[in-house]
Amino acid sequence: MGKRHRKKPVPMNMSREIKEDLLPRLKARYAQRGREGRSRMLDELCLDYHYERKYAIKLLGGKLPEPSGRKKPGPDPKYALIEPVVRTIWLAAEQPCGKRLAPALELWLPHYERHHERLNSRQRQLIKSVSSATLDRLLAAARAAHPLRGLSGTKPGSLLRTEIPIRTDNWDITQPGFLEADTVAHCGGSLAGDFIWSAIFTDICSAWTGGRAVWNKGAAGVVAAVESVEAALPFELLGFDSDNGSEFLNHHLRDHFALRKKPVGFTRSRPYHKDDNAHVEQKNWMWPRQLLGYGRLEDSMLVEPINELYRQAWGPLMNFFLPGLKLAEKWRERSQWHKRYEPAQTAYQRLMHSPKLPRKTRRELRDRFESLDPFALKQDVEKRLKKILRGAEVANRPKGTPPQWG
């Protein structure tokens, strides 16, 4: 018969209660022992509790604090004091990331105290010092999931492709006034039939964005949307760039820019190159999708309420109080691209820092900013949006079906 092997004892972890009771006595004995006695104590501790010898030496020698369990990942518990304040502003500011939320806190805090509660000096200090990464960890439990992507409704317009050039030169991105344009379909799951579209326009320099709702993206409706947005711009329109959709490549819009005292340059992007209009493409989520979702809007009576929402509440909230990131530089190292972004700012802040904006215009913008309240704008958005979505629900409900809302 072979030798009978005895099972080795399984090392057990030292519980918190044993550590609190046993470690002080072990440290006292370790300090009184000689070299051989300390070595035997270390051998026993490593064998019984499966510690590394170097760790056991530091533990008994008093060079480490008494272990009390592994520290949980996440922000320092001190920031729990400001979590309700940050969460309230984060929800009202349309759930931005930490890099955009950090500069937004400074804009929203004075209005927060008017609508909610006054902050103590400790809370002010923590909010002033909190980093964007800590904000992301602090709000991890409250972050909402992103919905699915929608359909693309861009159909190529070949009518004026030879007359409207592809933009091959670079505009002066330090000068406000050069707009990129795009449309978003509120079609639900099908592009068939009649429904509402949102036309979005973004300034490359400041990221100032305007939007208008149009019915079926007809040429006359798109031109009217362009005129409305242009009239509301705080700067002069200098250039206009769109994709190759038929809503833009038509005689109505071409004549609108060409037949004026000071013509506006009208160019288009390359077909199937969405990056050519990257500034407005990234606003498609922030403007119509985050606000109106992916449902179908097929009631023409909702066009004007949506336009009032864009003009009077959503536009001011986005342009004056919600900071956005802007690419500062981009470079390639071997096969990898690296990007560096400017500190997050609102479109209003970028315009105020622009030396090419007249002093009178900056003064008017400052007066308008001081007259606005982001929490009041948010409440106005929710009030108007509730009426629009109720109207859409009524329009989409089959005949004879009772409403589901109160």
CA distance linking residue 157 with residue 365, whole number of Å: 38
> What sign for the dihedral angle of Cα 382, 384, 387, 389?
negative
- Alpha helices, DSSP H, located in 268-373: 278-281, 283-284, 290-292, 303-309, 315-321, 347-352, 359-371
Return the pLDDT at 404.
43
Strands 336-341 and 327-333, by their bridges, are antiparallel
Strands 196-203 and 239-242, by their bridges, are unpaired
Return the pLDDT at 55.
85
Closest by CA position to 181, among listed 236, 237, 262, 220: 237
Return the pLDDT at 72.
60
Return the pLDDT at 14.
60
The pTM (predicted TM-score) of the whole model is: 0.71
Return the pLDDT at 148.
41
Count other C-beta atoms under 10 Å from residue 28's C-beta: 10
Return the pLDDT at 219.
87
Secondary structure E strands in 117-261: 178-185, 196-203, 209-215, 239-242
In the chain, which residues have pLDDT < 50?
Answer: 1, 7-11, 145-159, 400-406
Return the pLDDT at 251.
87
Count other C-beta atoms under 10 Å from residue 60's C-beta: 22
Return the pLDDT at 375.
95
What domains, with CATH codes, occur in the chain?
Answer: 16-60 (no CATH), 77-142 (no CATH), 178-395 (3.30.420.10)
Return the pLDDT at 8.
46
CA distance linking residue 104 with residue 92, whole number of Å: 11
Return the pLDDT at 165.
62
Return the pLDDT at 282.
82
Paired with 333 in beta bridges are 336
Phi/psi at 328 (5° precision): -95, -45
Paired with 102 in beta bridges are none
Q: At which residue do the structure tokens 């989409």 appear?
A: 396
Which contiguous run of DSSP H or E holds residue 266? strand 265-268
CA distance linking residue 357 with residue 276, whole number of Å: 26
Return the pLDDT at 367.
96
